[in-house]
Structure 1
Amino acid sequence: MPINRRTAIRQLFIISAGAAILPACVNNTKTSAQTFSNLPVTADEQALLEEMASSIIPTTDTPGAKEVGAHLFALRMVNDCYKQQDREKFLSGLRGFAGQVKQEQGKPFAECTAAEKEALLRKAGDKKNGEETAYFFSTFKRLTIQAYTSSEYYLTKVDVYKLVPGKFISSVKV
């Protein structure tokens, strides 16, 4: 069977593309959409944090924490600004909270009703539930609120930020 150069190159290209794609097909773990160098967070954990942020500051007629990306801000802050032991405590608290939700509700946090989510979040902040879970929740809640109140939407529409204090009125004593 004679084979020409063009056919050989085409077949070589197809085989090499298949070999490059094959490991992605075999790997079953979901990686995070956004990678953090010091914080190994999976895509499922990132989705859990997104739902938690949405429950902390829900969407009404104004955008909520989910729309401003508060969970990504919180993850970036923990990744960049916290010590290694605090990052480990945050991650173990996150995983403990996820396990607790599955154990109590029998379903993931995203599938719970709003009332169930509120009850779970109230319980997560309690130190009786576990010190790591309480640390995780208080840290995440604080960072979510900080992200929302420093977002572009909040500073331009809700609490209008003025770079300059105002115009100068010479008759008013400072």
Structure 2
Amino acid sequence: MRIDRRAALTGVLALFGTSVFAPLARAAQMTAAQLIPDGPPSVAVFSPAQRALMTALSERVIPTTDTPGAIAAGVPDFIEKLLADWASPTDRVPILAGLDALEARSQQDHKVAADKATPEQQDALLTLAMNGGFPGGKTFFEAFRQLVITGYYTSEIGITQEREYLPVPGEYNGAFPYAQVNKVYSA
């Protein structure tokens, strides 16, 4: 079964309304001829420390539970590829600045690198960003959250394991008992 990530991207972006992070909006509007090929990013966007932190925080946004989390779904690679190949240098600024600010705050508050902090400490750092606890924190958090959610729910894991994939949903049953609904369906 082949999952069309671009088609899934268009559907996921509807969740964010009018405040979609610019690279995501651009990627959803491209035609097949304009698509960037699969493979590694064209340029390295993150330093090794930023990449490690971005990976750890991705897993905090969508952790592994009874289904695989963000890391297993390849979200960190998706984020770097999207920022390298769909984002302008100015689009990258809030993400890179936010990661650096979180790293500095972790060193200040917890005396440990943010990617090595406990899950609770990482959650506190993300909450700080979400609440605007540092300059640019809200902008970083919203863009980062969108990247993680989009990367996850357009991945094969997000489409087929987190959600139930039915290319052609079955018959219509208007009286289907809600208690029997197991997963949300994606098509």
TM-score strictly above 0.5 = yes
Code of the aligned partner of 1:156: T
Computing the radius of gyration from Cα coordinates, the structure with the larger value is: 1
1:114-163 residue CA offsets vs partner (Å, 9 max, x unmatched): 222211110011224212x3322221111101111112122223322333
Contact 1:93 1:134 in 2 (8 A): no
Which residue is equivalent to 2:63?
A: 58
Percent pairwise identity: 29
How many equivalent residue pairs? Answer: 134
1:71 to 72, 76, 82: 76
Higher helix share: 1
Whole-angstrom distance in 2 between the partners of 1:89 and 1:60: 29
1:161 to 157, 162, 165: 165
Contact 2:45 2:84 in 1 (8 A): no
1:97 to 102, 109, 113: 102
Code of the aligned partner of 1:110: D
Which residue is equivalent to 1:134?
A: 138
Q: Does 1:45 align with 2:55?
A: no
* RMSD, aligned CA: 2.4
Structure 2: gaps spanning 5 or more residues? 1-38, 172-187
Deviation at 1:46, TM superposition (A): 0.7
Q: 1:35 to 1:163 in 2, by over 3 A?
A: closer
Whole-angstrom distance in 2 between the partners of 1:95 and 1:46: 11
Code of the aligned partner of 2:157: Y
Give the secondary structure class of the aligned counterpart of 2:63: coil
Q: Does 1:83 align with 2:83?
A: no
1:64-86 residue CA offsets vs partner (Å, 9 max, x unmatched): 11111112212221222222212
Which residue is equivalent to 1:18?
A: none
Contact 2:159 2:165 in 1 (8 A): yes
Q: How does 1:27-42 map to 2 (within 5 A)?
A: 36-38=41-43, 40-42=45-47
Code of the aligned partner of 1:139: A
TM-score by length of 1: 0.66
Q: How does 1:98-113 map to 2 (within 5 A)?
A: 98-113=103-118
Whole-angstrom distance in 1 between the partners of 2:132 and 2:152: 25
Deviation at 1:106, TM superposition (A): 0.8
Where relative contact order (Cα < 8 A, 6+ residues apart) is larger, the structure is 2
Code of the aligned partner of 2:76: H
Contact 1:101 1:109 in 2 (8 A): yes
